[in-house]
Amino acid sequence: MSEKEMSMRLEDRAARFINRELSWLAFNERVLAEAWEKRNPPLERLKFLAITASNLDEFFMVRVGGLQMLAARGSRRKDPAGMTPREQLAEIARRTRAMVKTQHACYAECIVPALEAGGICAACVDDLSKAEMSHLERVFEQEILPLLTPRAIGPDEPFPSLPGLTIHLGVRFHSPSDEGNGESMGVVALPRGMPRFCAVPGRNGYVYVAAENLIEAFVDRLFPGREIVETFFFRITRNADLSVREDLAGDLLAQMREVLTERRLSDVVRLELKSPLSAAARSRLAEAFEIEREQIYEAAGPMDFSGFHSLVEMPGFDELKIEPWSPAPSPAAPPHMSIFEAVARRDILLFHPYESFDPVLRLVEEAASDPDVLAIKQILYRTSRRSPVVEALKRAAANGKQVTALVELKARFDEARNIEWAEALERAGVQVIHGVRHLKTHAKVCLVVRRESSGIRRYVHFGTGNYNEQTARIYSDVGWMTCREEYGADASAFFNMITGRTQPLKFQRLAAAPLGLRPRLLELIRDEAQRARAGQRGHIMAKVNSLADPEIIEALYEASRAGVKIELSVRGICCLRPGVPGLSENISVCSVIDRYLEHARIFWFHRGGEEAVFISSADWMPRNLDRRIELMVFIPDRSSAERLKHILRICLDDTEQGWRLLPDGRYVRRRSESGKNLRSQKMFQREAERTARRARGERKTVFEPHRPSANRR
């Protein structure tokens, strides 16, 4: 769409927004572009390919599943971009088919040759020697066969319920005992937890056979006495857009268990097939899973690229991997000093994974053992499988502390783990809150109450990411630790509001969704617009994962028309159209895709020179602002605020891993006009390392930037 056509359609509200689902697909296309990027080492390319596959799985389970439910009910309600559910599904199908084709082309043309050159090769069963096949036969008999459960299905029998996101080997066979047309089917699921790849011994490098191909090679052992007509692979995706009926009476934990059961039996929203396969097999599967032709996706190569993560993570082959970056210790929280002493000295801003997550863990672990700590209150949204945070909370309860944990049972795809943690914490004596009805609690906050010589002091950690030490090494997040009285009071009021189910109070330094965060954001945006109309400088910088809220977008459009310069770093979904004359010519949007997942939410407002900086758990989406409990935290400490501003500036200036959003919804790579590209994540890593080295050299510093930001005061 040309600028003139865009301008002519400004009054058409639908033309002002990019469809959310298509914007998400554009994000996954940017991730896929990293798999094509030859400057990335081969295993890094494979990692990005695997990420696109797991992203697409979740997209179909949640977004496509929900749209198919709406379409099945006959809904013609249009989204802000003016598309009905059926129109969205048609365009999604077109884009995803092209994406799947590109995934397989990338694997075959770009990744496989590079891996083979580095010594990692997939072997064809037919090309193996007798000795190699004998070894793999023993592996099959001893390690795989005991885990398999072959299931035969007669011509007139209903298809069994099969798990989603699992590779299945399908078999068509003829048996004298079969009735009717004399042709039946068999199904064998690739067992979960079983290694995806089997090493071929005696070869240089790492030569492997995929487990599904090994099962196919010995399929006659699974269905003895039957004449096999055809073997093929397929994989189904089930709808996961199922919600607990919180309007009904009953225990929330029990209702979440029911949701998990329903998810295992929900409708199939996608059928993946590995071609070639017969029309008879395709027809039988489509009938069995009650799906239409447009829901079938055929792959020319391996199924389930998400399973290739095990190749990426295997030891050795360092020359095929990215340069390792290790988190630097935070100079503000040296290991020899109590975390309480460190926070009492100064507010601490942490930037993960460039800086270690250790100070956050130490806050909970020291609190669990410190005899002066009276209480700990914490929100757990997503945690690791062997969470040290959970263990510390259990230990704190055993030591007689008053421990309260809000465990969000509705954290999608982590429900089962959170149910287990909630029950384990309750057994340990922790007071557990199972979330809040009708809302997801997504805020990231930990409060420690400690008795000191001067009286009761509260220590608080606010973050943009979860209390998960594993994802803290691969997600880019910020956290802020303080013992300022007003923040401790706000944190206490926040927890009391949740546990006591009371009406929210007016916080001193926080804004909380679903009632206070949206009005505060709109107030800040409109204040910049008002200042610009009065002839003052208006400037907004923000970093979010997603921007989809129509009211926030309209406020940004209005600020742009008033003359406010708006610079946005939006990793994923962005429904705003930047750079449209008469609407958003003062708005620019970039997206950074690199080795770490950009996850921090940081907002900066010029405010006539009295700059205001915030961190938040919330993206600018309706679900975050209206249907979740979220926090936005004002950062009063100048050093922390300046560093957050620096982080924003560098992300916005990334010309190596950054993409620019065009008015028509397309993204193009950003490149430096001077020829000197800036890679934000690499700069942040070097800054953290240099600051840590200088701190060890007894130079007192909390943060040493690589270069001053262009907008620093």
Mean pLDDT, consecutive 10-residue segments, the chain of 713 residues?
49 83 98 96 98 96 91 92 94 96 97 97 93 95 94 87 94 67 84 92 92 95 90 94 51 59 78 91 92 91 94 94 95 94 97 98 98 97 92 97 92 80 92 88 97 96 97 97 97 92 80 95 98 97 98 98 98 97 97 97 97 98 96 97 98 97 95 86 97 75 47 32
Same domain, 254 and 350: no
Query: DSSP assignment of 17-35, as one string?
Result: B--HHHHHHHHHHHHHHHH
Same domain, 222 and 264: yes
Same domain, 352 and 434: yes
The closest alpha carbon to 616, from 465, 426, 497, 434, belongs to 465
Asked if the structure places residue 592 within a domain, the reply is yes
Asked if the structure places residue 88 within a domain, the reply is yes
Residue-wise burial string across 246-278, b where 16 or more C-beta atoms lie within 10 A, e elsewhere:
eeeeeebbebbbebeeebeebebbbbbbbeebe
Provide the edge-to-edge strand list for the sheet that holds 120-122.
120-122, 206-210, 197-199
The closest alpha carbon to 61, from 211, 233, 262, 305, belongs to 262
- 501 burial (CB, 10 Å; 0-12 / 13-18 / 19+) is exposed
The crossing angle, in degrees rounded to 10, of helices 20-36 and 85-106 is: 0
Let me know: does 470 contact 384? Beta carbons within 8 Å: yes
Asked if the structure places residue 22 within a domain, the reply is no
Q: Is 187 helix (H, G, I), strand (E, B) or coil?
A: strand
Quickly tell me which residue has 């971009």 as its tokens. Answer: 81
Q: Give the CATH number of the domain where residue 561 resides.
A: 3.30.870.10
Let me know: does 268 contact 290? Beta carbons within 8 Å: yes
Cα within 13 Å of Cα(154), Cβ side: 7
Number of domains in the chain: 3
**Choice among 434, 442, 539, 606 that is catalytic:** 442
Same domain, 627 and 677: yes
Helix intervals (H) in 409-507:
415-427, 485-500
DSSP single-letter state for residue 505: P
Domain boundary among 508, 535, 560: 508
Does the annotation count 461 as an active-site position? no
Q: What are phi and psi of 91, to 5 degrees?
A: -70, -35
State the Cα–Cα distance between residues 139 and 147, nearest whole angstrom: 12
Same domain, 193 and 206: yes
Range of the domain at 571: 511-696
State the Cα–Cα distance between residues 575 and 544, nearest whole angstrom: 13
Same domain, 310 and 390: no
pTM greater than the 0.85 cutoff: yes
State the Cα–Cα distance between residues 472 and 465, nearest whole angstrom: 8
Q: Give the CATH number of the domain where residue 289 resides.
A: 3.30.1840.10
Rg of the chain over Cα atoms, rounded to whole angstroms, equals: 27
State the Cα–Cα distance between residues 116 and 107, nearest whole angstrom: 12
CA distances from 389 to 349, 410, 642 (A): 20, 19, 30
Provide the edge-to-edge strand list for the sheet that holds 151-153.
151-153, 183-189, 168-174, 227-238, 268-274, 296-299
Helices (H) and strands (E) in the chain, counts: 21, 27
Let me know: does 308 contact 301? Beta carbons within 8 Å: no
Same domain, 583 and 448: no
Asked if the structure places residue 623 within a domain, the reply is yes
State the Cα–Cα distance between residues 418 and 612, nearest whole angstrom: 36
- 697 burial (CB, 10 Å; 0-12 / 13-18 / 19+) is exposed
What are the tokens at 505?
């109070």
pLDDT reported for residue 159: 87
Q: What are phi and psi of 529, to 5 degrees?
A: -65, -40
Same domain, 643 and 657: yes
Q: Is 144 helix (H, G, I), strand (E, B) or coil?
A: helix
Same domain, 393 and 464: yes
State the Cα–Cα distance between residues 419 and 491, nearest whole angstrom: 25
Same domain, 258 and 384: no
State the Cα–Cα distance between residues 31 and 55, nearest whole angstrom: 10
Asked if the structure places residue 325 within a domain, the reply is no
Q: Could you tell me what percentage of the chain is helix, strand and coil, using 3-state DSSP and rounding each to the nearest 5?
A: 40, 20, 35
What are the tokens at 397?
């309860």
The closest alpha carbon to 447, from 434, 435, 457, belongs to 457
Asked if the structure places residue 577 within a domain, the reply is yes
Domain boundary among 320, 354, 371: 320
Same domain, 418 and 562: no
What are the tokens at 206?
């790492």
Domain boundary among 508, 530, 561: 508
Asked if the structure places residue 12 within a domain, the reply is no
State the Cα–Cα distance between residues 580 and 213, nearest whole angstrom: 52
Let me know: does 408 contact 436? Beta carbons within 8 Å: no
What are the tokens at 562?
């008033």
DSSP single-letter state for residue 248: S
Quickly tell me which residue has 């805020």 as its tokens. Answer: 443
State the Cα–Cα distance between residues 241 and 221, nearest whole angstrom: 39
The crossing angle, in degrees rounded to 10, of helices 20-36 and 42-59 is: 160
Which residues are bridge partners to 513 per DSSP? 630
Same domain, 449 and 546: no
pLDDT reported for residue 476: 98
Asked if the structure places residue 633 within a domain, the reply is yes
